[in-house]
A and B are shown apart, each in its own frame.
Chain A
């Protein structure tokens, strides 16, 4: 659907979603704004997709946080050894 073919209210909500999706994802949008965005995303495939892929991406990014196994190298001991070479 092209923007100019959309009804004015739909277009306004479409623009609102594009502008405020970051706040929505971070839980910083107030209840009214959240309802507006979610209602629009329900009607608009483009925005529904935008929100869905951003949420999927954020979930994936959070999963990139290394496990203790990945960072199991004795990095702290190497740092401490360097520190002990420093003049007091």
Chain B
């Protein structure tokens, strides 16, 4: 990992006004959530918190992944990557530096969202808030690396963005999909069932991360949830970073 390269990506995020844009999204999502939450006849504060958390989760993932994809594709188009690789930087160190920078951006911007949720949910479940925050950061880290992977593999930024969005939705819906398979409702569609089971091996269980019910009711078994969140982060990060490396090391410039 090279610190100057990490700094270079972080400066690019600042230059692209990603931080400003995401803060604006944060403000708009919070305002809209309070507005919609206030229209509920009772439990207005809970509605607002759940809406903020739910919308923020989607908005921040969208913002972060789009930044990663367009930054990487722009770096290819402007020959920045070829220039950087002409310097004495190994490909592995290059990928690890970029990934670290994206992770730092994901954590920093994730913390802003967490602070907003914390401020809005004073009086609600605190232990659940901590685990929600931890898993939200892990989700951001996973998704920026997934976006990095698709941005390297797919030469069109639009296609990479769609692939990342599809991956995210699949990850969020994986619990439902596995539930359908387990309920034996697909008796006549065995190939589909098998295909989805195979896909589920490669897609992280994002439906088990940052669950909004934790903010409202807390958790029954917080330790096992922390273990799951950290294990999911490590296992999937290890897989995705190696997939990225495999493509990048083989690539002909």
Q: Do A and B bind each other?
A: no
Task: List A residues at the B interface (Cβ < 8 Å).
Answer: none
Task: List B residues at the A interface (Cβ < 8 Å).
Answer: none
